[in-house]
A and B are shown apart, each in its own frame.
Chain A
Amino acid sequence: MPQIFPRSSNFVPLQIAIVLGVLTAGALGAFWYYWTPKYTRVGYQPAQPIPFSHKVHAGQLGLDCRYCHSFVETAAHSNIPTAQVCMSCHSQVQKDNPKLEPLRKAWATGEPVQWVQVHKTPDHAYFNHSVHVNRGVSCVSCHGRVDQMDVVYHAESHAMKFCLDCHRAPESGLRPLDKVTDLGWTATPKGKESAQQAQLDLGNELKKRRDVNPPVNNCAGCHR
């Protein structure tokens, strides 16, 4: 009686194991690449009910961030402006632009414009805007060059490592208080030192002067 299975079939289980192994590694790799917190939200760029351009308002016109996000210095939450703030200008500027229809509707009825949240920290991390802004951490550190974005996207990762990198070395981001909303600002190098070194020198000085001591080993500092 001839053999049903050829001799090479002895290796089939091994081949299956190898292929399954590679497949698993590939799946894990894909998960690590796309879905670990470091990159989950990066690049998120939702369409908004009104195509509001930060590039025009913050970049071209030079509006201070706090003109609209007016309570960022006193509140944990950086507020999205009400229709009232928009209407300060848009009651006259571009007042017939069809793109602004949701705004005019909100102004007439009191129903808020349904803006889509772009940046988000997990609900178990209690990020406080005011405490950062008042110590000289710039908006740009976490939100990127919003003044150059036509449509805002999530530029930085906001994963826990991202927070800790700065909490462990706050000198890398501290700047003078009047430059916090100046997104393009960089420390001026003295003599031949690099821009990075200039930032560290200034940051270390400000850290000492303002007694900056962010929670590093204390979980309850951010996770209450």
Chain B
Amino acid sequence: MLKASFGALIILAVVGVGLAGFRGDKMGHTPVEWFNDMAHQPKYEPQHRSDFFNDSRAARLPIPGTVPIGFNLPGRYFQTEGNNLVDGLGGFANQPDYFNTGRIGDVYGDGIPDVLTARGAELVVRGQQRYNIYCAVCHGAAGQGNGVVKSFGLATVRPLVDDLLRAQPDGQIFNTITHGKNTMGAYGPVVPVEDRWAIVAYVRALQTATGAKLADLPADEQKKLQEQK
């Protein structure tokens, strides 16, 4: 009797593990949680769905015509605490000034905005880092228009170091990053304003580097290169 029971138990265990697999195995079904201890709370988390709103988004778009707290609408509702002009990632970026649009009135401006030039070389380094994340995929690490995606069917990638782009004002390059152009998508929703300017600065650095002559380098760098020859 006892033996038979143990036999049955062993068979049960083997069948159980056989059916359920070892723990940590890949499984397509939702994990079974016996005691979920408030692991799932009835609150909205970022990018989660909502059954309350018609479009099932928990994240809401601003209602048309409303002004976010701290946002200055030009000429109206002026708030002294407004942060949309502050150089920071928290600032709202749709103020129609040069910093946020690359335009002065209807024309593209040139030059990196004053609030950023104080960052000096650090801005270019930041630009290089951001360029390598967002731009190099298509435009290539050196801006030659030969990024990895090109071999996967993205036929028209603009080199960034040709004469046409050298002649473009900074504001126009900024505008292209923000809104995209031709087959290029908009990067404004992904890259914050400061970083877009940093990328502009780095694109300028790439252009300078690809057009550089030996005489442009500092004396010790020239010497190093000549020694390599």
Contacts and interface: CB of A to CB of B under 8 A. Distances in A.
A120 B45 CA distance: 11
A84 B23 contact: no
A42 interface: yes
Interface in B106-130: 129
Contacts, number: 119
B148 interface: yes
Interface residues of B, number: 56
A19 B8 CA distance: 10
A3 interface: no
Secondary structure call for the B interface: loop
Contacts of B134: 67
Given A15-B2, A26-B9, A42-B23, A62 B148 contact: yes
Nearest to B33: A40
A74 interface: yes
Contact of A92 (B46, B49, B153): B153
A63 B135 CA distance: 10
A39 B24 contact: yes
A15 B89 CA distance: 71
A43 B24 CA distance: 5
A22 B6 contact: yes
A40 B12 CA distance: 22
A93 B27 contact: no
A80 B49 CA distance: 13
B1 interface: yes
A26 B9 CA distance: 9
A15 B46 CA distance: 56
Interface in B177-198: 183-187, 189-192
Contacts of A222: none
18 contacts: A19-B2, A22-B6, A26-B13, A34-B32, A35-B32, A42-B23, A43-B26, A44-B27, A46-B30, A61-B137, A76-B46, A84-B186, A84-B190, A88-B187, A94-B153, A111-B55, A122-B38, A123-B43
Interface of A: 12, 15, 18-19, 22-23, 26, 30-31, 33-35, 39-47, 61-64, 66-67, 70, 74-77, 79-80, 82, 84-85, 87-89, 91-94, 111-112, 114, 117, 120, 122-124, 153, 178
Q: Shortest 4 CB-CB distances between A and B: which pairs?
A: A122-B39, A88-B185, A77-B46, A123-B41
